[in-house]
Amino acid sequence: MEHALVVVDDTDAHRDLLREAAENASGTDANLLLLMLLDESEYEHDLDTLESIGDVENVSYGEGTILEGAEQDANDIAREVIDGDFDLEWDVLVDVVEEDERARAVVQAGADNDCDHAFIVGQNRSPTGKAIFGDFAQRVILNFDGYVTVATE
């Protein structure tokens, strides 16, 4: 492993997976790319809310405010999980995607950044849910050009 992609979020499962990725990366001197995926509908709602607040305060909050906040969240999670225990550096990438495009975003980020390993948290879904919505982990495994480690929530 030379360059690993880790999908991060503010859950225990994601923190555990990040710790696992950090342990693997520190043993191989690999670099980490942390990918924070924002749901597009939540992002749009948050953007509308910030615009309303900005109108009241007579200031302009742009989409950069949300993206910078997400990047800061990813860095905070990494510092909490990685700092002190591992001598690693990481980069953060934030992407805004629709729910059904999450797997594509992971695969694309991995390809764009020459990642040879992906660490993701899969969702426990019923067979019907998988048929209707697809399975995030399965799509990443089938399309990612490298190894994929999947943890479950």
pLDDT by residue for the chain (153 residues), tens digit each?
A: 899 999 999 999 999 999 999 999 998 889 999 999 999 988 787 777 766 665 566 566 566 778 898 999 999 999 999 988 898 989 999 999 998 899 999 999 999 999 999 999 987 666 655 544 458 888 999 999 999 999 887
Q: What is the pTM of this model?
A: 0.85
Query: Residue 13: left (phi > 0), alpha (psi -120 to 50), or beta?
Result: alpha
**Quick one: how far is CA 71 from the chain centroid?**
10
In degrees, rounded to 5, the angle at the alpha carbon of residue 130 between the alpha carbons of residues 125 and 136 is 85
* 123: its two tokens: 């969702």
Is the distance from CB of 121 to CB of 9 less than 8 angstroms? Answer: yes
What are the φ and ψ backbone dihedral angles of 4, each rounded to 5 degrees? -110, 140
pLDDT on residue 132: 43
Domains, the chain, ordered by start? 3-38+71-152 (3.40.50.620)
Angle (CA) 22 23 29, round 5°: 75
* Helices 136-143/102-112 angle, 10° precision: 30
Query: What confidence score (pLDDT) does residue 87 get?
Result: 87
**Strand pairing category for 90-97 and 117-122:** unpaired
